[in-house]
Amino acid sequence: MPAGRGEGYYPPMRISVIVVILTIIEGELRALLIHRSGEPYLGWWALPGGLLLPSESLADAAARKLLEETGVTDLYLEQLFTFDDLDGEAGSVAVANFALVDSRRVRLRAEPVWEPRWFAANGLPDLAFNNTKVVDYAITRLRNKLEYTNVAYSLMPETFTLSELQSVYESIFGRAFDKRNFRRRVISQGIIRPTGRTIARGAHRPAELYEFTSRQPMAL
Amino acid sequence: MPAGRGEGYYPPMRISVIVVILTIIEGELRALLIHRSGEPYLGWWALPGGLLLPSESLADAAARKLLEETGVTDLYLEQLFTFDDLDGEAGSVAVANFALVDSRRVRLRAEPVWEPRWFAANGLPDLAFNNTKVVDYAITRLRNKLEYTNVAYSLMPETFTLSELQSVYESIFGRAFDKRNFRRRVISQGIIRPTGRTIARGAHRPAELYEFTSRQPMAL
DNA sequence: CCAAAAGTGTTCGGCTTACACCCATGT
DNA sequence: ACATGGGTGTAAGCCGAACACTTTTGG
């Protein structure tokens, strides 16, 4: 590493990339955590992450972490914020991302040491570094995004019923919505459309199946 | 710099901090640019910025840049986004910030080489790196923030008339607002209040002076 | 008295909210 | 037949947008 005049000298800096991976399981918003196997915070739960490799972009690094932990490649991934106060060390920044995945498509990495595990987002254990505030930040961002984008597609399978979609929204906002108003809203937003098919799943009227009009992130 | 097991090795990385400094001058939204005095992009206009020092936080680095360029310390400063594709070099990220200043309080640094200068935000020259997209990102963020926060305080003096405030909003959004609706809105939002004083400034009815109810950033 | 900017209310349409009953099915 | 979740319409309040005239001053 060269030292030199002015901006030519690069002090030792660490850039890490961390990912808040969120999903819905059993009607509950959950975040993926791993068990730290090294110091500091040995044995604590923490967000998946690691150093940025010099050859990769920030988005690539986040996608790589996500793939390693969940096996998912098709997903919603977005940069959240860059923190400099997570590990209390100078010259160290962490670029936090958040990702949304459909839990049905996830196969958690079988890694005995890290024990990746889904935790209910309200009810996290004490986390290493200041990871709790990173998760909170991600949840706030997610709630905002649900209001004006179609990102919910990344939490849903190809087709789904309106009740299922409503349940996902309710899990994230932590409150119930009116069924009629919810339906009017998502349909008039144009983010979903009926497929024409129905699905019978119990001793009651079958539900119509819907799909997202687009599975690319879009602002409304 | 140590090399070692696992995460102990830190590859050479550069973290720079850049700042989009916005203000209103002559009814126009303007951004502060400097003239590059070194390679690459020698002689091009670019956003103020520099390397993060190992001893400082990201916010400190951004505030330091801002102070160096404008002499302003009391301001609105917020992290925007972290880019990894600005200079096309691997292992380099730039944490972009945006700042709002009241141009009446600014004394630009007298630095013949850098020639810091205000440019109209729509009408920027071609910029070094991909700085144009950083400025665009800042303007979008500013417009959004004006809708649901009181950050406009940082562009205004202690007291001002409603017409002056409206003019600032119009400069930023690039369109005219209805006078009555604008007044109703800012007053009902509770972000400003009348001082009781008036100011006469021409051959017409004097205007009432208003002030911000808070000069700390607040969401509505 | 004239020019110039300051100040002030009302109407309309659209959106959000609240709310209750019938439908189709499996058992 | 009954239990279960699926599906539907309407009324009220609130918010944003459009719109024109009077007031106060300096010259």
Nearest CA distance, B46 vs chain A (angstrom): 16
- Strands B192-199 and B49-51: what pairing? unpaired
Contact A136, A82 (CB under 8 A): no
Beta-carbon separation of B13 and A11 below 8 A = no
Q: What band does B204 get if pLDDT is binned at 50, 70 and 90?
A: very high
A10 interaction partners in chain B (CB closer than 8 Å):
12-14, 51
Contacts of B143 in chain A (CB under 8 A): none
pLDDT at A90: 73
**What confidence tens digit (pLDDT) does each residue in B162-183 have?**
999 999 999 999 999 999 999 9
A132 vs A125: CA distance, rounded Å? 9
Q: Chain B residue closest to A40 (CA)?
A: B7
Which structure tokens are listed for B65?
């840049």
Q: Which residue has the higher pLDDT, B1 or B98?
A: B98
Q: What is the token pair recorded at B138? A: 């800042």
> Is residue A207 within 8 Å of A161, Cβ to Cβ?
yes
Nucleotide lying nearest to B180, CA to C1' measure: C8
pLDDT for res A9: 58
A11 and B54 within 8 Å at the Cβ level: the answer is: yes
Contacts of A6 (CB under 8 A, 6+ apart): B38
Which fold is adopted by the domain B6-148? Nucleoside Triphosphate Pyrophosphohydrolase (3.90.79)
The boundaries of every CATH 1.10.10.10 domain in chain B are 151-212
Strand C proximal to A220 Cβ, under 7 A: no
**pLDDT tens by residue, B26-58:** 999 999 999 998 888 999 999 999 999 988 999
Give the model confidence (pLDDT) of B99-158 as tens digits: 999 999 998 887 777 789 999 999 999 999 999 999 999 999 999 999 999 999 999 999
Nucleotides of D under 7 A from a protein CB: 3-10, 16-20, 23-27
Residues of chain A found within 8 Å of residue B84, distances taken between Cβ atoms: 57-59
pTM: 0.91
Task: Evaluate if the CB of B3 falls below 7 Å from strand C.
Answer: no
What is the second-level CATH architecture of the domain B151-212? Orthogonal Bundle (1.10)
Cβ distance of B15 and A15 shorter than 8 Å: yes
Judging by beta carbons within 10 Å of its beta carbon (0-12, 13-18, 19+), is residue B9 exposed, middle or buried?
exposed
Tell me the pLDDT band of B3, cut-offs 50, 70 and 90.
Answer: very low
Confidence of residue B75 (pLDDT cuts 50, 70, 90): confident
Which residue positions in chain A have pLDDT lower than 50? 1-7
Q: Write down the pLDDT at residue B39.
A: 81
Q: Which residues of chain A are in CATH 3.90.79.10 domains?
A: 6-148
Residues of B at the A interface, defined by Cβ within 8 angstroms: 1, 6-7, 10-15, 38, 50-59, 79, 81-82, 84-85, 90-91, 93, 95
Identify which of A148, A172, A163, A151 has the alpha carbon closest to the alpha carbon of residue A214: A151
Alpha carbon dihedral A110, A53, B133, A148, in 10-degree steps, equals 10
A107 is near strand D: CB distance < 7 Å: no
